Amino acid sequence: MDIGTTLTRFLIEQQRHLPGATGTFTALLEEIAIAAKIVGREVNKAGLAKTMGLTGRTNIHGEAVQALDDFANWTIIRALDHTGLLAAMASEEMEEVFPIPEHHPRGPYVLVFDPVDGSSNIDVNVSIGTIFSIYRCADPEHPQVSDFLRRGREQLCAGYVIDSYSPILVYTTGSGVHGFTLDPTIGEFLLSHEDLQIPTQATIYSVNEARSPTWDPRVRGYVDGLKGTGRSARYIGSLVADFHRNLLKGGIFLYPAEVRAPNGKLRLVYEANPLAFIIEQAGGSASTGHTRILDVRPESLHERVPLVIGSPQDVAEFEAALRAPQEQQV
Ligand code: P6P
C-alpha cells in the first residue's frame, strides 16, 4: 500500500536534482519536523497540558511568555543542537544568539526561528505555528549575531509548521514551495502540496482594521478601496495561519506602519523574511510598502518591519498607493 511521499523521501529525491546538495537540509528539516511534532502534541492537549497558560514572565519585547513559547523554544534547540549542522541558533524568545555548546559538534549553518507565532491564540484553539530560516555561518567556530543579520535574499531555506487539526509543514530551499501534511496514523509528514503557487488574483485581504486610525491615510484609502470588490476580509490574528490561507487561496496580508510604530509590529528576521522567501518562490511578493522585504538589511535581531505580502498584483497596487502624494495634514 502506497503511503505517499514522506518528507524524507521528497528531500532525498530533491537532493538528487540539486548539484552539490549534501543532504544537510534533509537532516535539518527532518529534525525540525520532529520538533514540530513534539510541539504539536503539546498544542493538541489544549488546555489540559501544563504547557498552556502564562509563565508570568515577559519576553524582551515586553510580551507575556506563554508556557508553550518556552516549551517550543527549547524543544527546537534540543532537537537541533547535536546535529553537527549548526553553529548557532536565535529565536524570538531569546535576546541573544545561542551558540551551539562546546560539547556538541558545530556545522556551517545558523537557524533562526519564531517558536510559536500567534501564541496569544494558544488558549482559544486558534491555529498557531513555528516559522524558521536557515543561513550559512561565516565562521562556525565563532558564530556572531552578524550571521543572522543578513538580507533575506541570502536565506538558504525557510519554512513554517502550522499546528492545527491537520498540521502542515511548508518549506522552500529556493527550488519551489512544498507542503507536507501530517498523517497522525503513521506520524509522518506526507507530500500534499507540491510546488505551491499563489493565485495571481487575490480573493482575500487580511488586516487588523481596528488599527486603521493609526495608519497613513493612503493605507486607509487602499484598504477602503478593497471593500465592495468581491473580496472577503479574513483575519485570524495568527500570521502563519493568515499567510498559509492566502498562499493557497490568493490574497494579501498587511501589517502596515503605524503613527507610533513606523516599523509596524512583525519581526523582520524570523517572521517577514522566511515568509517573504516562501511567497517569492510561490510567485508572490513581499514588501515594506516601499522596499522588497528580502532586500532589507537587518540592523538588529529583533527589529520590526511593516509587512505587505501575497499576490503580486495586490502588493504592487499597495506600493503604488503609498507613492501617491501624501494628503496635506490639516
Ligand atoms: P494584532 C501574533 O501575536 C502576531 O505576532 C502575529 O502572529 C499576528 O499576525 C499579529 O501578531 C496580530 O497582531 O495587532 O492584529 O493582534
227 C-alpha to center of ligand 1: Å? 22
Q: Among 127, 266, 275, 305, which is best to mutate for testing ligand 1, by the most ligand atoms less than 8 A from CB?
A: 266
205 C-alpha to center of ligand 1: Å? 15
Q: Among 121, 255, 260, 268, which is best to mutate for testing ligand 1, by the most ligand atoms less than 8 A from CB?
A: 255
Residue type present at position 301: L
With a CB cutoff of 8 Å and minimum separation 6, the contacts of 119 are 66, 68, 69, 128
The closest-lying atom of ligand 1 relative to the alpha carbon of residue 238 is 7
Instruction: Name the CATH topology of 7-193.
Output: Fructose-1,6-Bisphosphatase; Chain A, domain 1 (3.30.540)
The closest-lying atom of ligand 1 relative to the alpha carbon of residue 120 is 3
Q: Among 58, 160, 214, 238, which is best to mutate for testing ligand 1, by the most ligand atoms less than 8 A from CB?
A: 238
The residues facing 131 across adjacent strands are 114, 160
211 C-alpha to center of ligand 1: Å? 12
* pLDDT tens-place values along the chain, 330 residues long: 677 999 999 999 988 887 777 778 889 999 999 999 999 888 877 566 555 666 777 777 777 666 888 999 999 999 999 999 999 999 999 999 999 999 999 999 999 999 999 888 877 888 999 999 999 999 999 999 999 999 999 999 999 999 988 999 999 999 999 999 999 999 999 999 999 999 987 899 999 999 999 999 999 999 999 999 999 999 999 999 999 999 999 999 999 999 999 999 999 999 999 999 999 999 999 999 999 999 999 999 999 999 999 999 999 999 999 999 986 655
With a CB cutoff of 8 Å and minimum separation 6, the contacts of 219 are 212, 254, 256, 257, 289, 321, 322
pTM: 0.94
Sign of CA dihedral 314, 319, 322, 324: negative
195 C-alpha to center of ligand 1: Å? 28
Q: Which residues line ligand 1 at a C-beta cut-off of 6 Å?
A: 117-118, 120, 208, 237-239, 265
Return the CATH class of domain 204-328.
Answer: alpha beta
- Closest protein CA for atom 2 of ligand 1: 118
Q: Among 207, 239, 240, which is best to mutate for testing ligand 1, by the most ligand atoms less than 8 A from CB?
A: 239
Question: What is residue 68's predicted lDDT score, i.e. its pLDDT?
Answer: 85
Question: What is residue 18's predicted lDDT score, i.e. its pLDDT?
Answer: 75
Determine the Cα–Cα distance for residues 78 and 89; give it in Å rounded to an integer: 11
The residues facing 183 across adjacent strands are 188
Determine the Cα–Cα distance for residues 75 and 44; give it in Å rounded to an integer: 16
- Closest protein CA for atom 1 of ligand 1: 237
The closest-lying atom of ligand 1 relative to the alpha carbon of residue 208 is 15
123 C-alpha to center of ligand 1: Å? 15
- Closest protein CA for atom 16 of ligand 1: 237
140 C-alpha to center of ligand 1: Å? 34
CATH 3.40.190.80 domain range(s) in the chain = 204-328
